[in-house]
Amino acid sequence: MLFTMQRTESTFDEIPVIDLSNASSPDPAQRLALAEKIRDACVNVTNHGIPERYVIDALEAVKPFFALPTPSKMEFDIHKSTNFKGYTKILGEKTDPNGKGPGDLHEGFDIGWEQLDQQSFSSRDDGEMSGSNVWPDLPGFKEAVLTYYHAVVQLGLKLFPLFALALDLPENFFEDKTTKPAAIMRLLHYPPQPPVIVDDDGSGIGIGAHTDYECFTILWQDNVSALQVQTTEGKWIDAVPIPGTFVLNIGDQLARWTNDVFKSTVHRAINKSGLERYSIPLFYGVDYDVPLTPIASCISSDMPAKYEVITAGEYVRHRLQETYAHSGTNP
Ligand SMILES: O=C(O)CCC(=O)C(=O)O
Ligand SMILES: [Fe+2]
């Protein structure tokens, strides 16, 4: 009989902390032991190798941008972009596909892959998601943001082999599918809001309940608690910020590769602190032209294929269109 993977149930009461020191250990047993720990839908990772200085610099770069008057920020309106890059105004996004409210109480600035050392953007064929970044003319902004971006992209490349191991696949399974890092990064600002519990009409939500669209998300959050993660039983757990760690979430592309053996993590954020909150998620997917074909060991007569096969780029574009539809269309 063919070996079939079992679905992972995430039933934690608090989000586990996983030490990534052994991610590139020469000992395969240590890499495998670590891989088993990241099966859960959501973990905090420590010893990730990203210098704190990079986080601080990116944050200090973006704060003056968010402090600009709205018309200046709207010059970089995400709706002017072919590939959803640039500025999202407060309430500009509605991340919960079933959300009833007026939109999400955060503003954001999105970038994708770009080399750090280049004068001008060299375009890359990203199919559905082709296009360039936009940059405000603020001193040090681009350099600080891209320096942090590239450090997290490198961390992500170390995680793909662990996910492959956890699926009993060759460690290099994702290598030829991640040759042009398809990573979107967002710098997010949640302004202080009245300490309301979210109303029945959905107003007051910082970011509505959703799953992320790529394979996994590496998220830095400041020390203001707002993020919540839903367990398989439907319980909301606070992703309490732990200094020096990142949150690692599973996203829809991995769910599609694995026919839901790895489920994508439902999460949301509500900033009830009365304080400003900042977070920086980086969503790491496979190359946009790669079809999300389910892995054979994740399909059986008990677990028939759940998702139609589409490319990563088609999937991401479709989801971004839905998210931003209520505040405009893109070219
Ligand atoms: O701000 C956060 O903690 C979560 C952000 C998020 O879920 C997203 O941008 O997809
Ligand atoms: Fe998210």
Q: How many CB atoms lie within 10 A of CB 203?
A: 16
Rounded CA separation 143/147 (Å): 6
What is the model's pTM?
0.94
Question: What's residue 284's pLDDT?
Answer: 98
Atom of ligand 1 nearest to the CA of 226: 3
Rounded CA separation 279/289 (Å): 29
Residue with tokens 């704190």: 52
Question: What's residue 309's pLDDT?
Answer: 97
Question: What's residue 195's pLDDT?
Answer: 57
Gap from CA of 316 to ligand 2 centroid (Å): 13
Q: What are phi and psi of 234, to 5 degrees?
A: 95, 5
- With CA atoms as reference, report the closest residue to 100 among 199, 198, 201, 197: 201
Question: What's residue 246's pLDDT?
Answer: 97
Question: What's residue 198's pLDDT?
Answer: 58
Q: pLDDT digits over 204-259, tens only?
A: 789 999 999 999 999 999 999 999 999 888 899 999 999 999 999 999 999 999 99
Atom of ligand 1 nearest to the CA of 239: 3
Question: What's residue 118's pLDDT?
Answer: 65
ipTM above 0.85, yes or no: yes
Average pLDDT over residues 81-109: 90
Rounded CA separation 139/145 (Å): 11
For ligand 2, a single-atom ion, which residues have Cβ within 5 Å?
212
Rounded CA separation 217/183 (Å): 9
Q: pLDDT digits over 162-210, tens only?
A: 999 999 999 999 999 999 889 999 999 999 876 555 555 566 789 999 9
Reply yes or no on whether the pLDDT at 1 is more than 50. no
What is the maximal distance between C-alpha atoms in the chain?
64
CA 190 to chain centre: 17
Question: What's residue 82's pLDDT?
Answer: 87
Average pLDDT over residues 14-32: 94
Residues within a 6 A CB radius of ligand 1: 186, 188, 207, 212, 219, 221, 227, 267, 269, 279, 281
Atom of ligand 1 nearest to the CA of 106: 1
Question: What's residue 44's pLDDT?
Answer: 95
- With CA atoms as reference, report the closest residue to 153 among 123, 182, 176: 182
Reply yes or no on whether the pLDDT at 7 is more than 80. no
- The ligand whose atoms approach the alpha carbon of 188 most closely is 1
- Give the mutation target among 106, 205, 279, 320 for probing the ligand 1 site: most ligand atoms within 8 A of CB: 279
